[in-house]
Amino acid sequence: MVENKIIDGKAVAKRIRLEIARETEAVKQMGIEPCLAVIIVGNNPASRVYVNNKKNSCAEVGIKSLEYALPEETTEEELLTLIDTLNADDSVHGILVQLPLPKQISEQKVIEHIVPSKDVDCFHPYSAGKLFTGAPVFEPCTPSGIMELIYESGIEIAGSECVVVGRSNIVGKPMAMLLLAANGTVTVAHSKTPELKAVCKRADILIVAIGKAKFINADYVKEGAVVIDVGMNRDENGKLCGDVDFDSVYGKCGAITPVPGGVGPMTITILLRNTLRAAKESKNK
């Protein structure tokens, strides 16, 4: 188990980003400049922050980023046409469309329009299907980042009871697939799960992604369990907090991720790793 029980996502992310920077440099020496195209539509302030973080993170590891900032009134057709152009551009290796999109645009249609070989977010149904069959094209960003944090905790996934609370397409479901592939025994719980406390208490590894501030307290946690908190919420004072009541759980668990500084820094790190991988694989086309 990790020293002092807190799994330091920032430190793990920093380590992986150093590796990515080294590899990016090596790929550039081979004449390929890894490049991520980021599309943002409209003026959502949270989306603006996410896109800036992604661009800054790309710069930090030497990956080129291109930003396409489109106005709120952009039509679905205009966005799909831009994606067609980027799909066909060999100098672009990853394409990311920041969600949510304005209501005149179907998010599903947009996700399905990105060619799977550039789907570094791993949202395309083809990518999801490949993950399901155990041969992922890219790693789903948040769940793969969580796998790195579980490895950091020192717990053996094979043979462990893993409980994932939340079944979204972005976190819960792909998380379950990765744990299964690593030979965990996996339960996926959700808002209709009866006896949630008892289900969670079975877990050697408990992953919570529900979007409810401090919902999971010590009553849900087995003594010594590894607890991964994916939630990003604001508490009653407007302070960033997770889905887990850290103060309640800390004394009982074996290891825990803090919010902020746990899962958060990992998501973009895996996005960078996927972009680098896409660039490397473009060489074999």
**What positions carry a catalytic annotation?**
54, 98, 121
Minimum distance from residue 33 beta carbon to ligand NDP (Å): 27
CB closer to ligand NDP, 109 vs 190: 190
Please report whether residue 165 would count as binding ligand NDP according to CB under 6 A. Answer: yes
Q: In the set 196, 228, 241, 272, which binds ligand NDP (CB under 6 A)?
A: 196
Position 275, amino acid: T
Exactly one of 207, 264, 276, 278 binds ligand NDP (CB under 6 A); that residue is 264
Q: Applying CB under 6 A, what is the total number of residues that bind ligand NDP? A: 24
Query: Phi and psi at residue 164, in whole multiples of 5°?
Result: -110, 120
Q: Considering only 121-129, 155-163, 168-176, 276-284, which stretch makes contact with ligand NDP by CB under 6 A?
A: 168-176
Q: Is 44 in the site for ligand NDP (CB under 6 A)?
A: no
Q: Contact with ligand NDP (CB under 6 A): which of 83, 86, 164, 263? A: 263
Could you say whether residue 27 binds ligand NDP (CB under 6 A)?
no
The only residue of 172, 174, 184, 254 in contact with ligand NDP, by rule CB under 6 A: 172
- Nearest approach in angstroms of CB 258 to ligand NDP is 12
